[in-house]
Amino acid sequence: MRDYRVDPWKDIIDKRKSKYLAWEADDPIYKVEKKSEGIVPKDKIISFKNGWKFRFDVFVLILAIFNGIYIPLKLSFNPPEMNTSGTKAFDILVDFIFISDIVLGFFVSYVDRMGQEVF
């Protein structure tokens, strides 16, 4: 007589669980791939921990706060003091600094999911 207390599907389910839930060294998700060299050489990449990069980011943040106040004030009230050639030159300089920050962002390292700095 057959023993019905034994589950005939237990072996199949255990195999599937081990396939999807267990960590396997051969699984491609867990393999560490060697990072290939990028277009820019590694010595040209700026570390995100660099001191002058941090100071430049703080400077850009201060300019962004200034623009957050200055632009709505200029658009709302348009005082004549804000239409001089000096303020226009300063606006162009701030825009140039923002563009250079965007370009600089392509040359800065970052931290991957494993917590390692990637150049």
- Given CA atoms 54, 97, 69, 84 in this order, what sign does their dihedral have? positive
The separation between CA 69 and the C-alpha centre of its own chain, rounded to angstroms, equals: 27
Q: What is the pLDDT of residues 35-63, one digit of tens each?
A: 556 677 778 889 989 999 999 999 999 99
Output the CA–CA distances (angstroms, integers) from residue 89 to 48, 83, 85, in the order listed: 30, 10, 6
SS3 content of the chain, % helix, strand, coil (to 5): 60, 5, 35
Quote the pLDDT of residue 53: 94
Q: What is the pLDDT of residues 67-99, one digit of tens each?
A: 999 999 999 998 888 889 999 999 999 999 999
Quote the pLDDT of residue 39: 74
Quote the pLDDT of residue 93: 97
pTM, two decimal places:
0.64
Output the CA–CA distances (angstroms, integers) from residue 9 to 12, 81, 112, in the order listed: 5, 82, 41
Task: Give domain limits for the chain.
Answer: 35-118
pLDDT band for position 13 (cuts 50, 70, 90): low
